[in-house]
Every structure is written in C-alpha cells, then in structure tokens.
Amino acid sequence: MEHLIHIPWHELLMPKPSWGEKILRPVLIYLVLLVVFRVASKRELAQATLFDFLILLLISNVVQNAIIGEDNSILGAIAGALVLVVLSAFLNRVTGRSHKLRSVLEGDPVLLVHDGRVLDEAMKRESVTRYDLFSNIRKAGLVHLADVAYAVLELDGTISIMRATDRKHPMNCLPPEILVCIGADPKQSEAHEDKASRPAPGLSSGVPGP
C-alpha cells in the first residue's frame, strides 16, 4: 500500500500540455496524413509490398512525437486515441451520406478498360501497371481482353472486372462517374450516396408502400 501512496498519480494520469493542445495535435496530424494519402495513387495504397510496410512503420514513428508531444500520461493517451477514433467515424459518416464530399476526400473510381480496350492514359495517371491489370483480369476467370467490358479502379485501390456478357443487364451497380465515361446515363446508378439518403416511397412514415 505504501508503494501505491507514493506513486505520482497526478503526473501518471494528467497530461502535461493543455487539453486543447492534446486534442489539436492528433487532429492536425490526421488531416495532414489524409491529404498526403489522398494525393497518393489509389493503387499504391492497395498494394502491400515491403516498401509500403516500411513507409507505414516510419511514418508512425515520425508523427508519434508530434501527436503526444512530451506527454506520457494515461488520460492524455486515451484522449488522443478518442480524438482519432471520433474524427475517423465522423468522416466515414459524412462521406457515406454525401457523394460530393466523398469525391473530394476519397476521389472517384477510374475506368481502366472499356470494351476490351486498355485506357493507357488512365493507367499512367493512376500508376497501374499492365501486370496488375491483367493479373486481376485472370483472377476474374478471363483469358481474353475482349471479354472484359469494364475494369474499374475502386477507391480502395482494388480493380473490379466486369464481363462483356453482363452488359445485357442494367448497369446500375456502376458508379455514376464510370457511367459518364462510357456514355451512359449516370442517373441509373444505384451506387450513389445521395440515393441512399432518400427514403423509399411509403417507408419514411413506417407505412409500407402500395
């Protein structure tokens, strides 16, 4: 018990900087890293190479001191962690409801293949190699480029492959940005955050539609 009494509880629990500084530091670092990764290629974020692991480890060590400062307190660490979690949850919520905000913060899907033709300019702009593209085409079970209707670089860096035989069905799963690229009506897309925020007829009041 004597050891517990002599523990510097205030220094152990309370952060050295002010609470305002403790909240502001992780917010600023989060926003800066958000801009950095937003500018980076989507494909690079999806690839887990040795270089990517090294970068992530080094970045975490570099920004650690900027986030915590000279503080090693328990409540300070909890406050910093809560700020990051709340900020991330807030951004996920607003980008899930607003298509325009999602486009600004996360970017837009990019069309890489259209009717069996590789769009080289889009490939170069997004730093996608032909090896990556054709590897994903093979993973989709296709061996002929002509069988690919569309290949789309998604926001998370993965590549979605749509077969030419699927074009007989409505293309309402394609993002509106991709429908514009292929000359289709973007309004037919159901992959739109703004549509999800609109209640279906008769459901807003809890009464099923006719």
Q: How far is 116 from 144, CA to CA, in rounded Å?
A: 8
Radius of gyration, CA atoms only, the chain? 24
Query: What's the whole-model pTM score?
Result: 0.66
> How would you class 35 by CB atoms within 10 Å of its CB: exposed for 0-12, middle for 13-18, buried for 19 or more?
exposed
Q: How far is 148 from 116, CA to CA, in rounded Å?
A: 5
Give start and end residues of each alpha helix (H) in 40-97: 42-46, 50-68, 74-97
Q: Is 85 helix (H, G, I), strand (E, B) or coil?
A: helix
Domains of the chain: 8-105 (no CATH), 108-195 (3.30.240.20)
pLDDT truncated to tens, each residue of the chain (210 aa)?
A: 555 565 665 666 677 778 888 888 889 999 998 888 887 766 666 665 666 677 777 888 888 878 877 777 888 888 888 999 999 999 888 888 888 888 888 888 999 999 999 999 999 988 888 998 999 999 999 999 999 999 999 888 889 999 988 766 667 778 888 888 888 877 877 766 655 555 544 444 444 444
Q: How far is 196 from 191, CA to CA, in rounded Å?
A: 9
